[in-house]
Structure 1
Amino acid sequence: MAPAAAAAAAASSSMATMVCARQGRLRQRYEGCYRLVSGCIPYMFKGGDDEKSCQDVLGRLQVLMISTPKRSDLIFPKGGWEDDESIDEAACREAFEEAGVKGIISESPLGEWIFKSKSKQNSCGLQGACKGFMFGLQVTELLEIWPEQVTHGRRWVPVEEAYGLCRYDWMREALDKLKEQLLFQSDFKPSPAELVDSSSSLCMVMPAVGEGAVALC
């Protein structure tokens, strides 16, 4: 088979086996009036891992943010937590569907936050209110094709630059918690920037340190 034909066949095979993003809210979890949402901050480290100082760790920390249709700001992958999955599985699924990444998710969430869905930002009361749980996700695999790549672009940014790109305070608070979690994790070992293949599962779980606080946006 010619190289071009082989490449086309491989691409066709990849797209054929691509898992479609979940649609609808038939399995959506709720807690009272709150829709439950799970998401993550995908991250990696730029450069080698020969230095372990706090300043070096934060200086090399990169986070992955995604774009959304009809919006100029960037966000972190997140979406509805459904009744057939655990909260960390939901976060991994959203990272795969929206950002095309797989990796190692922290065992403990960075925290939980109350916010309005983007379509209900200007509504009164609790209409459209969500309770969101965010995790840190150390990226081990960056996919070339993912379910929602048509509507979500992705961009790696230094963590300090990410603060300026966040639309909401709760997103900046989640970044603070991610840095705390990484710095105070006793067995933390930064990984180099090169991504390697992971297993076919969407995530692996690793211990993490730090309790997440509840915050209101």
Structure 2
Amino acid sequence: MADEDDAGRSTAGTESAMRARTGRENQRYNEQKQRLVAGCICYRRRSTPAMEDSARAWGSKGGRFLEGDVRDEVEVLMLNSKKGARVRGRDLIFPKGGWELDETDFEAAARECFEEGGVTGDVSEGNETYEFYSRSRVRAGAEGDEARCVAHVFTMRVLEEHERWPEDGVRTRYWLDPLDAWRRCKHDWMRQALVDCEHLRLGEKATISS
């Protein structure tokens, strides 16, 4: 029987097949003929001992751990881009891919998380949308709005990391501090999505630049 999340939506099926979907035969497009994609900002919480935050504690010997006190730190999952770095070492992405005709955007996002990153977990109810130009669509002859894609970006609280997944031969998982993830993120629209994600609390720490 398929597992279901709190909203009653099935989260099964992402881990049942060890082969990633390929091809564009079932790809969804909107009325402007823009390709629709879906993905997730995947995160986990790691509890670490808190450190005393004072000028004296942060002297030459570093901070002092406080007994019995812990601080929740959020890490975000990033993956290597198979096409390499964009600029200045920006070489990482979060899971995303084509939204297909036989699935909802939620299902597509969850599937991509397993296919590309080998993770499953709780996916958010809502999502943010981002538009970006696709170089592959431009090379295929698309112009204007048709050269753009629309990404539906959810968040996922990761509950399980699988040892095997469809793209484990070409993808490496990196669990990074949110600011490090932002610094190494390949695409500007993904960098904005990381800033917008309330779970990461990047705020003014990151300034979007090309």
Same fold by TM (over 0.5)? yes
1:126-165 paired onto structure 2 within 5 Å: 126-165=145-184
Distance 1:118 1:145, change over 3 A: farther
Contact persistence 2:74–2:200 (CA under 8 A): no
Q: Which moved more, 1:168-177 or 1:145-154?
A: 168-177
Query: Which of the two has higher C-alpha Rg?
Result: 2
Tell me, yes or no, if the aligned pair for 2:39 and 2:153 is still in contact at 8 Å: yes
Q: Which residue of 1 aligns with 2:37?
A: 37
Q: Report the Cα offset of residue 48 of structure 1.
A: 6.0
**8 Å contact kept, 1:68–1:151:** no
The one-letter amino acid paired with 1:68 is: S
Contact 1:42 1:63 in 2 (8 A): yes
Shift of residue 49, structure 1, vs aligned partner: 10
Structure 2: where are the runs of 5+ without partners? 1-15, 51-70, 86-90, 202-209
Partner of 2:22: 23
Q: Shift in Å at residue 118 of structure 1?
A: 4.6
Instruction: Please tell me the residue identity of whatever aligns with 2:126.
Output: S
Structure 2 CA distance for partners of 1:94 and 1:121, relative to 1, 3 Å: same
Question: Is the contact made by 1:68 and 1:153 (CA closer than 8 Å) also made in structure 2?
Answer: no
Q: Distance in 2 between matches of 1:75 and 1:182?
A: 15
1:63 matches 2:76: yes
Runs of 4+ in 1 over 4 A off after TM superposition: 120-124
Please tell me the residue identity of whatever aligns with 1:117.
S
CA contact 2:118–2:163 (8 Å) conserved in 1: yes
Spell out the pairing of 1:106-121 with structure 2 (5 A cutoff).
106-109=124-127, 111-120=128-137
The superposition leaves residues 116-174 of structure 1 with CA deviations (integer Å, 9 ceiling, x where unpaired) of 23535788534542100101111001011100112221111001111111223321221
CA pair 86-63 structure 1, distance change in 2 beyond 3 A: same
Question: Separation in 1 of the partners of 2:48 and 2:176?
Answer: 17
Q: Is the 8 A contact 2:120 2:159 kept in 1?
A: yes
Q: Tell me how far apart the structure 1 counterparts of residues 152 and 49 of structure 2 sit (CA, whole Å).
A: 29
CA distance in 1, matches of 2:34, 2:167: 25
Give me the whole-angstrom Cα distance separating, in 2, the residues matched to 1:49 and 1:120: 48
Q: What is the count of residue pairs matched by the alignment?
A: 159
Two-structure CA RMSD over aligned residues (Å): 2.5
Provide, for residues 33-80 of structure 1, a one-character-per-residue CA deviation record: whole Å limited to 9, x for no partner. Answer: 210000011100111699xxxxx55xx110000012240300011001
Contact 2:79 2:174 in 1 (8 A): yes
Q: How does 1:1-217 map to 2 (within 5 A)?
A: 18-31=17-30, 32-47=32-47, 56-57=71-72, 60-72=73-85, 73-109=91-127, 111-120=128-137, 125-179=144-198
User: Which whole-Å CA distance do the structure 2 matches of 1:80 and 1:49 have between them?
Assistant: 40
**1:47 aligned counterpart, secondary structure:** strand
TM-score (normalizing by structure 1): 0.66
Normalising by the residue count of structure 2, what TM-score does the alignment of the two structures yield? 0.68
- Alpha carbons of 1:96 and 1:26: their partners in 2 closer, same or farther (altered >3 Å)? same
Residues 118 and 140 (structure 1), Cα distance of their counterparts in 2 relative to 1, 3 Å cut: farther
Sequence identity percentage? 42
The answer to whether the 8 A contact 2:43-2:156 is kept is yes
Name the SS of the counterpart of 1:108 in structure 2: coil
